[in-house]
Amino acid sequence: MLRLKLLGGLSVQRDGRALTGALAQPRRLAVLALLARGGQGGVPRDRLVNTLWPDVEEERARHIVNQTLYAIRREVGNDEVITGMRELRLNTELLAIDVFDFQAAIAAGNTERAVKLYEGPFLDGFHLPGSDEFERWVERERAGLTRTYTTSLEQLAREATGRGDHTRAVEWWRVRAALDPLDSRVALALMQSLDSAGDRRAAIQHARVYELLIDEELSLPPDRDVVRFAETLRREQPIQPVRPVTPAPSRWTEVKALTPSHIRSYRKSRGGHTAAIRARPSGWTVEKVRRLPNDGNRYEVIDGELFVTPAPSWTHQSVVLELAMILAPYVRGHSVGHVIAAPAEVVFGPRNVVQPDVFVVPLVRGEAPRTWNEVGRLLLAIEVVSPTTRRTDRREKRELYQRKGVPEYWMVDVEARAVERWRSDSSALETMSGRLEWTPEHCADPLAIDVADLFCRVLGPTLASA
């Protein structure tokens, strides 16, 4: 069955993979998005005309709409995929829609399933140049769905607190806080959950992170309630105060003499799982990131923009471990390089620092390097995609890795049980769900990975193979 993906992008998918061809044409996808949000009430043809072809003469615009509907039906292979004459509707028996599933889970009270289904902002990264009315509609829909998602996260956190599961509450509040790092109400809720879970030091650390972000971003004092609660925690259990000092360089740290700059504005990615904060005029730097205390979140900078993501899941880390164990014997046996797994910094200059989930660096004089300065480049970068990182992994990180000449970049999609491969010398995407081969530079024998077997070991067999 085909599936229309609206959360975290816009595509028609089969078996978790986006289809190419006629159904990937932007205005046809836009028509599907409008019809999907119209629900059973339908969407008048005139609305499609006014939203997508407002500057086209009316009769010609109606003809274009008819041609577009015909093309969609032909590509799907069933005329009933779009029903109605004046009021058009999608047939959900032929085309599943992720937003429908998300809202159905909310209506049924299955909040945890709804949160899992939310893979990112509505139509994230999709644009129609010159279609202002469509863009305004997208922003309205996106805002509403994002509110539903964030409200659901807070509900799950409060429910966990109510049943005394403070560890689980911390997990939900961390995801919520990563979306809005400057929200004092959310920061306070996370601190309270951390304290209830017995991790008072982490609560104080998060207060310090919040204070630094508010100061750097807005040049404003922190919220009084956050400061007051942090002071209470310090008084009740005196510990060494957490100070914003730069940590000593680790094995994978590039040390540079950088000058901090004042923050001029704050920006978040459009309702996404990962908060993106941009400093101006000179932006976020490696030095600024290293001044942030460790509060359990991951902080990365790409072209001066700070990306904040919550701690990865158990499944995510299990996939990371499997990949590292597959790669390590091969690179050692062929004297190719050295395998590193996160958390570990890769620094591409003062305005770019990332933490790939797994990466391979070349050997230095036949031995594993001891510092990033010894190598300064990657042979392979791997990111295990999660709902919190999907957009950043697919766009900002991919562009950074390709720009920096990383020969191969793998995006491991756990949900689709597939690996997307990008090469530095090509803009073409390869998707593998069976056999994946990697031939690093100066090596004749490729490493072969059974992708299906990899996911089977971590996730268990699929229904088809069970």
pLDDT of residue 424: 87
pLDDT of residue 266: 34
Pairing relationship of beta strands 275-278 and 17-18 according to DSSP bridges: unpaired
Which residue carries 């993106």 as its tokens? 276
Pairing relationship of beta strands 11-14 and 2-5 according to DSSP bridges: antiparallel
Q: Is 87 helix (H, G, I), strand (E, B) or coil?
A: strand
Average pLDDT over residues 186-192: 96
Pairing relationship of beta strands 43-44 and 82-83 according to DSSP bridges: unpaired
Whole-number average pLDDT of the chain: 85
Q: Is 15 helix (H, G, I), strand (E, B) or coil?
A: coil
pLDDT of residue 260: 28
Higher-pLDDT residue of 99, 265: 99
CA dist 223 and 166 (Å) reads 24
2-141 and 314-459, same CATH topology: no
Sign of CA dihedral 249, 251, 256, 261: negative
Q: Look up residue 311 and give its DSSP letter.
A: P
Query: Please, are residues 125 and 151 in contact by the beta-carbon 8 Å criterion?
Result: no
CA dist 407 and 428 (Å) reads 13
pLDDT digits (tens, 9 = 90+) for 74-84: 988 899 999 99
pLDDT of residue 369: 87
pLDDT digits (tens, 9 = 90+) for 397-453: 999 999 999 999 999 988 778 899 999 887 778 888 889 999 998 888 999 999 999
Residue 464 has pLDDT above 70, yes or no: no
pLDDT of residue 275: 58
Share of the chain above pLDDT 90, in %: 55
CA dist 226 and 372 (Å) reads 37
Classify 166-236 by CATH class: mainly alpha
Domain 314-459 has CATH 3.90.1570.10: yes
pLDDT digits (tens, 9 = 90+) for 199-240: 999 999 999 999 988 887 787 899 999 999 999 999 886 544
CA dist 121 and 138 (Å) reads 10
Query: Please, are residues 122 and 102 in contact by the beta-carbon 8 Å criterion?
Result: no
pLDDT of residue 290: 87
CA dist 177 and 181 (Å) reads 5
C-alpha closest to that of 402 among 384, 426, 419 = 426
Q: How many helices (H) and strands (E) does the chain have?
A: 15, 20
Angle (CA) 324-329-330 rounded to 5° is 95
Which residue carries 């590039």 as its tokens? 254
CA dist 113 and 333 (Å) reads 44
pLDDT digits (tens, 9 = 90+) for 24-41: 899 999 999 999 999 889
Residue 278 has pLDDT above 70, yes or no: no
Largest distance between two CA atoms of the chain: 76
Average pLDDT over residues 166-192: 93
Q: Is 371 helix (H, G, I), strand (E, B) or coil?
A: coil
Query: Please, are residues 174 and 167 in contact by the beta-carbon 8 Å criterion?
Result: no
Classify 2-141 by CATH class: mainly alpha
CA dist 93 and 80 (Å) reads 10
CA dist 200 and 311 (Å) reads 18
pLDDT digits (tens, 9 = 90+) for 380-393: 999 998 766 777 88
Q: pTM value? A: 0.72
